[in-house]
Structure formats: C-alpha cells, structure tokens
C-alpha cells in the first residue's frame, strides 16, 4: 500500500514524537517514583489521593491549577506531568508538519482545515476554550 505524501509525513512525525515521548515519559516516571528529583506530594500521597477529582486533589495538596502548574515542572511530579502534556501536543505538531504540503499543492480547503484545527487545539490546550 502506497501512502500519499501528506499521510506519510503525518505518520513519520507522529512516530518520532510517540517514540521520543515514551522514552521521556519513562525516564521522568523513574525519576519521580525513585525520588531522584524531589516531589511534593510524594508518590505515596498521590496514591492515597488519586481517587479525588482534579479540583479536590489540588485543594488537598495545595498544587497550583491552570497556568500555575508551570511552576511545578521542577518537581518529579511536574516532570511526569509535563511528559504527558507532550503527548497532548503531538497532533498539533503533526498538523503543522503537513500544512506546508497542502500549501505547496495549493489545496487551500485542506490547508484551511489544518489551520483551523491547529488554532482550535492550541486554544483548547491553552485553556481559552473551556466548558462551563
């Protein structure tokens, strides 16, 4: 089966991102659970609280919410969380990678879809689009 150029590039970029993301996720998880990087709350406390919803968990642990979470990336828990966020960004990166191919082909319908999808995903990731 021969893939078209757009599908092949999307798949190639996605494969590289997933492989590298998995390595980073594993490494940060090992650093977190071994305590090699200090973490607050501890892995044991997280296990005790993980039945809670996100709001209750943040209240119990005093963890920041929203953009305030950026300050926790220096902790073991924060690094593990950041590596998970990496996976959430994969589709955005793949869409950006195929956009020039649609532009070169002058396929403006698909280029428009890619741009709109990228903007919507980025806005959602940034917390601009929030269900209330």
pLDDT in tens, 21-58: 999 889 888 887 887 887 777 667 778 887 888 788 87
Here the tokens at position 127 are 């917390």
Please compute the mean of the pLDDT values over residues 51-75 and round it to a whole number.
Answer: 77
pLDDT for position 60? 80
At residue 72, does pLDDT exceed 70? yes
Under 8 Å CB-to-CB from 17, ≥6 apart: which residues?
86, 90, 93, 94
**Greater confidence, 65 or 85?**
85
| pTM confidence score | 0.73
DSSP string, 1-44: -PPPHHHHHHHHHHHHHHHHHHHHHHHHHHHHHHTSS--SS-HH
At residue 116, does pLDDT exceed 90? yes
Domain ranges of the chain: 5-125
The answer to whether 98 and 10 have CB atoms below 8 angstroms apart is yes
């Amino acid at each position: 089966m021969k893939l078209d150029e757009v599908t092949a590039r999307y798949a190639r970029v996605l494969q590289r991102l997933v492989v590298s993301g998995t390595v980073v996720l594993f490494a940060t998880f090992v650093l977190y659970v071994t305590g090699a990087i200090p973490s607050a709350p501890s892995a044991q406390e997280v296990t005790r609280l993980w039945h809670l919803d996100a709001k209750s968990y943040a209240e119990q642990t005093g963890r920041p919410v929203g953009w305030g979470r950026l300050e926790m990336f220096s902790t073991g828990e924060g690094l593990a969380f950041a590596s998970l966020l990496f996976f959430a960004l994969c589709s955005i990166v793949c869409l950006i990678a195929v956009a020039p191919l649609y532009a070169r082909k002058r396929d403006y319908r698909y280029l428009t879809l890619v741009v709109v999808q990228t903007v919507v995903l980025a806005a959602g990731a940034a917390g601009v689009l929030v269900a209330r």
